[in-house]
Amino acid sequence: MKYLKKSIQFLLSITLFFCMVGCQQDNVTVQKEFDQFLNQEFIETMENDYVTLHTYVTHPEDFGIDMSQVEVGLGMGAFQDDQQKLKQELNNTYEQLMEFDYDALTEDQKDSYDIYKTQLSIDQKLSDEKFDYYGSLFASMTGLHYQYPTLLTDWDIRNEEDLQNMIIMVKDILPYTQEALDYTKTQAQKGLLMIDFDSVLTYCQRILDQKDHSPVLQAVYENIENLDITKQKKEDYKQQMEDAFQTSFFPAYQEIITTLSHLKDGTNNEQGLAHFKDGKEYYALLLQQNSGTDQTVEEVKNMMEDAFHQHMQRLVVLAIQNPELYEDYTNGNFPQTNFRSYDEILKFIKQNLSQDFPEVDQLSYQIQDVNENLASDSGVTAYFNIPTLDGTQVKQLRVNPKTNDVKTISTYATVAHEGLTGHMYQYAYMYENQTNNFRKAIASCQAYSEGYATYAQYECLKYLEDEIDEDVLQLYKEAELLNNSLTILIDIGVHYEGWSQSDVLDFLEDNGMVLDEESLSALYKQLQANPAAFVPYYVGYEKIAQMKEEAQETLGDNFDHKLFHEALLETGTAPFDVVERHIDRYVENSQ
């Protein structure tokens, strides 16, 4: 009997062993197939969109990208006829993803799975037929008219072929814009037009007024001059580029003016999305997409109301403790830094960031002024250009020479947002520590990337404490965050609750805020024409601040800024439920 029991135990152990080996082998197969799937998604995305390809890849052949499959140009705009095709592709991709056994994946692959699932799921919901004409292609902050100049002036011309392709791309601007205008005309026919006409038309007219000495074309010429080709070739290409501008770029802006001027006399929603039939549902989805969460509108509203009251309470305490400081702030008499250039700001932060942030090897950068004529068209202080995955060039930071005094705390914070320890650092860390090209280039969650950069800009204020009083910095931070919270609450009010401009005024007055009529009108128009545009920055920030506060409360003296930031950064671009897993793991390991 003992022998029989031992034999049975032996057979069971052998069976269990082979089952475990078999499961492990099955898991390895699934994991390999999943990596292949994501890599193929990366390749197909690059082959289907020349602009994305050029932005992220220097040597396509090293990534298995077939350039014969790439059509040089601006790509598909998802305008009208393209929409059904894109919906089908989206559904097919989602079904392919769902076929993978989630439990068989590694922890890192589970992150990738959840990131892509979230991204595809919200895209599927937004692609519902009833929302086909809800998106505006000429939003005042992000419309095509606004994107073209930045795209062309920042286009990286690495070799002669890039230049030839760029000329083709410029020639594509007119037909691409015409398709967008056809879409916009259909919007008008369906009663779904919501455009800040005055803002868009003013911007477009300024582009045409500068036609004879176009700052966009001059910036392109400067890039051509930097190319290592003969002088004669440079002149030939400049002529070809000018011809492309004269026959495509400028006519596109004229067509925008002509078409929108005509549509301006028709029906246009000058309030929010809530005034469209399915507008509230559409805004709820936009809010989820831009907040990196699956929260309802009411949940986001409650979170931002709590944030508003918290920042207000802290601001009141500071004002009571130091009334003169608060009076100086409200009168615009605020201390300044001693920085004389943007470069000094970045060098200063670079010297201090190792106190709180993990090391990154590749933090070399170049700062370049935006062309002054273009800079004057925008309130943007600075912005970061995304580097290619395989390039050796230094990080590029563009700064506006006209926007702000370099000595202000606001300028310091903006440079921190775009540079160190914001986007520039964020991308450098991700490129060094994330091996998955899909995660580095295709994964998309603006709330994470912009929320992190907003968090970083306020986190870097403490490095100024040796030259500026801590209470001053805290007052600046809390006042900014208070305004940020209000902005989101007004955004929700306009687009989900249907607020008019007078409703916004009532809301501000109820919360002790005063705005003159001109400022109120400008605020309302900006939020009304760009639904959820500020959500990634301000809701994203509050989500990160919330995770940090909870980690600090749990860990007490064991909380470590550098380890927290490592956990925050290691996911790369991801929705917050994925990020929270990493923060929870850090907290658990630190207790």
Task: Please report the beta strands in 380-531, taking only residues with DSSP state E, as ranges in sequence order.
Answer: 382-385, 395-399
For residues 400 and 114, give the distance between their C-alpha atoms in angstroms, rounded to a whole number: 38
Give the closest residue to 526 by CA, choosing from 491, 573, 492, 552: 491
Is the Cβ–Cβ distance between 552 and 559 less than 8 Å?
A: yes
**CA dist list (Å): 292 to 118, 123, 407, 576:** 9, 13, 34, 6
For residues 67 and 165, give the distance between their C-alpha atoms in angstroms, rounded to a whole number: 12
Is the Cβ–Cβ distance between 277 and 129 less than 8 Å?
A: no
Which residues, including other chains, have CB under 8 Å from residue 430's CB and lie 6 or more apart?
Answer: 439, 440, 569, 572, 573
pLDDT tens column, 74-88: 976 556 566 788 889
Is the Cβ–Cβ distance between 493 and 503 less than 8 Å?
A: yes
Q: What is the dihedral of CA 267, 268, 274, 279, to 10 degrees?
A: 80
* pTM confidence score: 0.93
Structure tokens of 243?
């011809």
- Which of the 8 DSSP states describes residue 249? I
Structure tokens of 401?
């020479």
Is the Cβ–Cβ distance between 522 and 541 less than 8 Å?
A: no
- Which of the 8 DSSP states describes residue 384? E
| Local confidence pLDDT in tens for the 591 residues of the chain | 444 445 555 545 555 555 555 566 689 999 999 999 999 999 999 999 999 999 999 999 999 999 999 999 997 655 656 678 888 999 999 999 999 999 999 999 999 999 999 999 999 999 999 999 999 999 999 999 999 999 999 999 999 999 999 999 999 999 999 999 999 999 999 999 999 999 999 999 999 999 999 999 999 999 999 999 999 999 999 999 999 999 999 999 999 999 999 999 889 999 999 999 999 999 999 999 999 999 999 999 999 999 999 999 999 999 999 999 989 888 888 899 999 999 999 999 999 999 999 999 888 888 887 766 665 555 566 789 999 999 877 788 888 776 668 999 999 999 999 999 999 999 999 999 999 999 999 999 999 999 999 999 999 999 999 999 999 999 999 999 999 999 999 999 999 999 999 999 999 999 988 899 999 999 999 999 999 999 999 999 999 999 999 999 999 999 999 999 999 999 999 999 999 999 999 999 999
H helices of 69-143, where?
A: 81-98, 107-126
Bridge partners (DSSP) listed for residue 399 = 369, 382
Coil/strand/helix, residue 111: helix
**CA dist list (Å): 69 to 49, 53, 60, 72:** 10, 12, 12, 10
Give the closest residue to 545 by CA, choosing from 452, 470, 423: 452
> Which residue, chain included where needed, has tokens 């500071």?
318
For residues 356 and 459, give the distance between their C-alpha atoms in angstroms, rounded to a whole number: 9
Is the Cβ–Cβ distance between 263 and 486 less than 8 Å?
A: no
For residues 297 and 307, give the distance between their C-alpha atoms in angstroms, rounded to a whole number: 15
Structure tokens of 550?
């909870």
For residues 73 and 49, give the distance between their C-alpha atoms in angstroms, rounded to a whole number: 8
Structure tokens of 546?
């919330």
> Before 403, cis peptide (omega within 30)?
no
**In this predicted structure, what is the pLDDT of residue 2?**
45
Give the closest residue to 300 by CA, choosing from 538, 481, 19: 538
Which amino acid is it at 468? Answer: I
365-369/395-399 β-pairing:
parallel
Coil/strand/helix, residue 338: coil
Is the Cβ–Cβ distance between 442 and 42 less than 8 Å?
A: yes
For residues 556 and 79, give the distance between their C-alpha atoms in angstroms, rounded to a whole number: 53
For residues 114 and 244, give the distance between their C-alpha atoms in angstroms, rounded to a whole number: 43
**In this predicted structure, what is the pLDDT of residue 225?**
97
How many alpha carbons fall within 13 Å on the CB side of residue 162? 22
Is the Cβ–Cβ distance between 280 and 274 less than 8 Å?
A: yes
For residues 508 and 498, give the distance between their C-alpha atoms in angstroms, rounded to a whole number: 16
**In this predicted structure, what is the pLDDT of residue 578?**
98
Task: Please report the beta strands in 117-225, taking only residues with DSSP state E, as ranges in sequence order.
Answer: none
**In this predicted structure, what is the pLDDT of residue 393?**
72
For residues 440 and 573, give the distance between their C-alpha atoms in angstroms, rounded to a whole number: 8
Give the closest residue to 155 by CA, choosing from 226, 206, 213: 226
> Which residue, chain included where needed, has tokens 């037009």?
193
Bridge partners (DSSP) listed for residue 395 = 365
Which amino acid is it at 455? Answer: Y
**In this predicted structure, what is the pLDDT of residue 79?**
65
